[in-house]
Amino acid sequence: MDLNPEGVKANGRGDRETGTLGKLVALLDRVALADGPMRFTDILSLSDQPRGTLHRQLSHLVEEGLLEVDRDGRYLIGLRLLTLASRSWARNEFRAVAEPHLQRLHDVTCETVHLGVLHDAEVIYLDKVEGRQSVRMYSQIGNASPAYCTGVGKAALSALDDAELAIRIAALEFRPYTQQTLRNAGELLSDISEIRQRGYAFDIEEHESGICCVAAPIRSDDGHMLAGVSVTGPAYRVTPQSLQAWAPLVVAAADSIMMDMRNRMGPKR
Amino acid sequence: MDLNPEGVKANGRGDRETGTLGKLVALLDRVALADGPMRFTDILSLSDQPRGTLHRQLSHLVEEGLLEVDRDGRYLIGLRLLTLASRSWARNEFRAVAEPHLQRLHDVTCETVHLGVLHDAEVIYLDKVEGRQSVRMYSQIGNASPAYCTGVGKAALSALDDAELAIRIAALEFRPYTQQTLRNAGELLSDISEIRQRGYAFDIEEHESGICCVAAPIRSDDGHMLAGVSVTGPAYRVTPQSLQAWAPLVVAAADSIMMDMRNRMGPKR
DNA sequence: AAATGTCGTTCCAGATAATGGAACTTCACG
DNA sequence: CGTGAAGTTCCATTATCTGGAACGACATTT
C-alpha cells in the first residue's frame, strides 16, 4: 500500500475500488454489467468478499434504491439511477448546445448521428438522432465504448497532444471486436496520425460488423473536454464514397458545436 | 437512535441519510436536483456538514465519476450515472415487454404514450413514445413525479389495497402545481374511488397546465409492482371526449402488458 | 421423516475508514 | 500590500465497516 505501481487498469479507468464508496460503486457496476438479475451467490462468486460483507453492502445499495431485489431475491439495477441520470442528461449544457446541429446533420444524411464525449479511454454516447426505427431507440445513449474502435473515440483521441495520447493508450487493452478492429498501439497511432491530417476519422466495421461511420472531433476551448460527432450507417447502404462525402458536413457540424460552446461559455476565463 | 418516530418524509421516500452511502447519495441527489452547477459554498450552505467533511465527500464522488467538476470548480452530476442507468434501462424486462404495446397505442392515438412505475409515492417514467417533435425527446424518461397529480400515478395508486394506500397517502405532502391539482387526501381518495369504478384515471391539467391524459393501471401478477400507461396530449387538442374514447384502448394496452408479463414470468412461483 | 446440502441472513469484536476542527493556501478586491 | 472569502489539507478522535462464524430457511436425498 506504499508504492503501488498498479496504475490504471485495462478499461482505461482507474478501478481502484478504494474506499467504501469505491467498493460499492464497483459492486453496482458489476450488477449493472451482468445481463440479467443476479442471485446473491452469483455476485459472491464474482466479488472476492466474505458473504457477510457482501450481503450488507448489497442491502445498503438496495436501501438507497440504487439496486432492487426482484421477487426471486435476485438483484438488479434500481430505477433511482435512471432518475439521477435523466437529470444529468437533461441539464447537460454541451448536449443541449449540440442538439440542433445533430438534428441538422441527420436531416442531410438521413443516417444515425451520434454525439459522444471522451472519458479517459472510453467514449460515452451523450445523444443520438435517428430515423423512424422505433425499436432500440434509446439504446445507445449513456453507453460507454472503448475509444480506440469507434469513430467518435478515435476522432476525440486525435485531438489530444502526444503526451496525453501516450498516457491514455498505455492504459488500453486491445480487444478484437471484429476482423477490422485495430490490434495494437502502433496501428492506433498510425490511424490517429491520418485522422489528424484529414481532420476526421473513419470506423469501417471496427467495433461492430456491418456498421461504419465517419466522425469529427470537438475540442472545448479550454482543451479540457474532448468529444466527437459521427454519422453512422450499415455497411450495405453506406459506401466509403458516401462517408467521404459526408466528412466535410460532419466536420462542419463539429466546428459549429465548438463555436456555439465558445459563445455560450466564452465570457469566462 | 433508539426509537425514531421520524418515519417517512414528505417526498414519499425515507431519506434517512444513514450510513456512509446514505450521506453520499443524499449529497448526489442534492447536486442533481439543483438546476445548474453548484459551487462548493452553495453545497456547504445546504448541507449541514463541516467544510472538511463535505470536501472529502465531494472528492470521493468525483473520483468515482458520479460527480464532475467543471472548469470553474463547480460541481455537477457526472456522466457515469448515465452509463449505469442506460444499462438498467436497456435491460429492464418490464419496459421491453411493454414497448410494442406503447407503440401500438401511439399509432392509434397519435399522442404521446407514457409508461411509468410506482415507487413509494412517486411515479418514475420508464418509457415514452411520441411523434416527430425532435426536441426534448428523452426528457421525460427517468423523471420522477408525485403520484397524486399524474394520471399514471393515480391509476397505479388505485390498484393498491386500502391499507397500503393509506400508508402511502399519509406520507404525501400535497403541493398545488396547478389550479386543478388535488389538494388533500380526501380529494385524492374520492378520485381514486372513481378510478377504481371506471378502471382508468384522468389527469386534467392537474400536474401541468394545458396537459391532460387518460391512464390505466398495470399490476404485476404477484401484486408487488404497480405501474401505469397513459396517453397524454395538450388540452387545446385533446378534448374530454377524446380522452373518454381512448380510455378502453389504454385499458386494453395495460391488460395486454399484464398478460405478456404473466406469460414471460409465469412459470415461476 | 430424518439427514444433508445449498442459500441467504444475522451477529459482534476487531480493523478500517470517516469525521471535523484548525491550520494552511490561493485568489480577488480595495 | 492588506484583507477577506473560497477552497484545500492535516491528523487525532470516533463512528462505521469488516468478516469469520453461527444461525435459520428451504430443497433434495436416503
Q: A174-205: per-residue pLDDT in tens?
A: 999 999 999 999 999 999 999 999 999 999 99
Residue A192 lies in a domain: yes
Inform me whether the pLDDT recorded for B17 exceeds 50: yes
| Average pLDDT value for residue range A78-102 | 90
Inform me whether the pLDDT recorded for A133 exceeds 70: no
The most confident of the ranges A208-212, A251-255, B127-131 is A251-255
Q: What is the C-alpha to C-alpha distance for residues A120 and A115, in angstroms, rounded to an integer?
A: 16
Same domain? For B156 and B30 the reply is: no
Higher pLDDT, A95 or B220: A95
Q: What is the pLDDT of residue B221?
A: 76
A179 close to B (CB below 8 A): no
* Spatial CA neighbour of B211 closest among B246, B249, B178, B166: B178
Chain A (66-85) residues lying within 8 Å, Cβ to Cβ, of chain B: 66, 71-72, 76-79, 81-85
Same domain? For B96 and B77 the reply is: no
* Chain B nearest CA to A93, separation (Å): 9
Give strand D nucleotides closer than 7 A to any protein Cβ. Answer: 5-11, 16-22
Residue A241 lies in a domain: yes
Residue B132 lies in a domain: yes
Q: What is the pLDDT of residue A173?
A: 92
What number of C-beta contacts closer than 8 Å exist between A and B? 154
Q: What is the C-alpha to C-alpha distance for residues B124 and B147, in angstroms, rounded to an integer?
A: 9
Q: What is the pLDDT of residue A245?
A: 96
Q: What is the pLDDT of residue A120?
A: 85
Domain encompassing residue B203: 92-265
Q: How far is the CA of B39 from the C1' of D6 (A)?
A: 10
The most confident of the ranges A163-172, B8-17, B123-132 is A163-172
Domain final position from B83, B101, B127 = B83
Residue B179 lies in a domain: yes
pLDDT tens for each residue of A135-147: 444 568 899 999 9
* Spatial CA neighbour of B87 closest among A212, A78, A223, A220: A78
Q: Would you call A71 and B224 a contact, using CB atoms and an 8 Å cutoff?
A: yes
Q: What is the pLDDT of residue A60?
A: 94
Chain A (88-107) residues lying within 8 Å, Cβ to Cβ, of chain B: 88-92, 99, 103
Residue B118 lies in a domain: yes
CATH of the domain at A72: 1.10.10.10
pLDDT tens for each residue of B101-160: 999 999 999 999 999 999 889 999 999 988 765 445 456 889 999 999 999 999 999 999
Residue A2 lies in a domain: no
Q: What is the C-alpha to C-alpha distance for residues B259 and B255, in angstroms, rounded to an integer?
A: 6
Report if CB A131 to strand C is under 7 Å: no
Inform me whether the pLDDT recorded for A12 exceeds 50: no
B131 close to A (CB below 8 A): no
Give strand C nucleotides closer than 7 A to any protein Cβ. Answer: 6-12, 17-23
Domain final position from A56, A83, A110 = A83
Cβ contacts of A254 within 8 Å, gap of 6 or more: A216, A217, A218, A228, A229
Same domain? For A53 and A158 the reply is: no
Q: What is the pLDDT of residue A262?
A: 85
Inform me whether the pLDDT recorded for A44 exceeds 90: yes
Mean pLDDT of chain A: 87
Residue A4 lies in a domain: no
Higher pLDDT, B171 or B175: B175
Nearest to A144 among B83, B129, B134 (CB): B83
Same domain? For B76 and B96 the reply is: no
| Average pLDDT value for residue range B201-216 | 95
The count of residues in chain A is 269
Q: What is the pLDDT of residue B139?
A: 65
Same domain? For B62 and B136 the reply is: no
Q: How far is the CA of A154 from the C1' of D12 (A)?
A: 49
Q: What is the pLDDT of residue B1?
A: 33
CB A58 within 8 A of CB A103: no
| Average pLDDT value for residue range A196-224 | 92
Domain count, chain B: 2
Q: What is the pLDDT of residue B262?
A: 86
Nearest to B88 among A63, A77, A126 (CB): A77
Cβ contacts of A177 within 8 Å, gap of 6 or more: A149, A206, A207, A208
Q: Would you call B83 and A143 a contact, using CB atoms and an 8 Å cutoff?
A: yes
Same domain? For A131 and A215 the reply is: yes
Same domain? For A33 and A69 the reply is: yes
Cβ contacts of A259 within 8 Å, gap of 6 or more: none
Same domain? For A187 and A147 the reply is: yes
Same domain? For A229 and A112 the reply is: yes
CB B115 within 8 A of CB B100: no
| Average pLDDT value for residue range A143-157 | 95
Inform me whether the pLDDT recorded for B5 exceeds 60: no
Q: Chain A contacts of B65, Cβ < 8 Å?
A: 13, 119
Provide the residue type at B216 as one letter.
Answer: A
Nearest to A32 among B24, B87, B268 (CB): B87
Q: How does DSSP assign B87-120, residue by residue?
A: HHHHT-HHHHHHHHHHHHHHHHH-SEEEEEEEET
Q: Which three cell numbers mark B117?
A: 412505475
Residue A14 lies in a domain: no
CATH of the domain at A181: 3.30.450.40
Same domain? For A64 and A188 the reply is: no
Q: Chain A contacts of B119, Cβ < 8 Å?
A: 65, 79
Residue A213: strand pairing partners: A203, A232
Report if CB A22 to strand D is under 7 Å: no
Q: Would you call A32 and B61 a contact, using CB atoms and an 8 Å cutoff?
A: no
Q: How confident is the model at residue A132 (pLDDT cuts 50, 70, 90)?
A: low
Say what percent of chain B tops pLDDT 90: 68
Chain B (15-74) residues lying within 8 Å, Cβ to Cβ, of chain A: 16, 19-22, 24-25, 28-29, 32-33, 35-36, 60-61, 63-66, 71-72
Same domain? For A136 and A62 the reply is: no
Nearest to B124 among A22, A63, A82 (CB): A82
Domain final position from A36, A54, A83 = A83
Same domain? For A51 and A143 the reply is: no
Q: What is the C-alpha to C-alpha distance for residues A162 and A165, in angstroms, rounded to an integer?
A: 5
Q: What is the pLDDT of residue A62?
A: 93
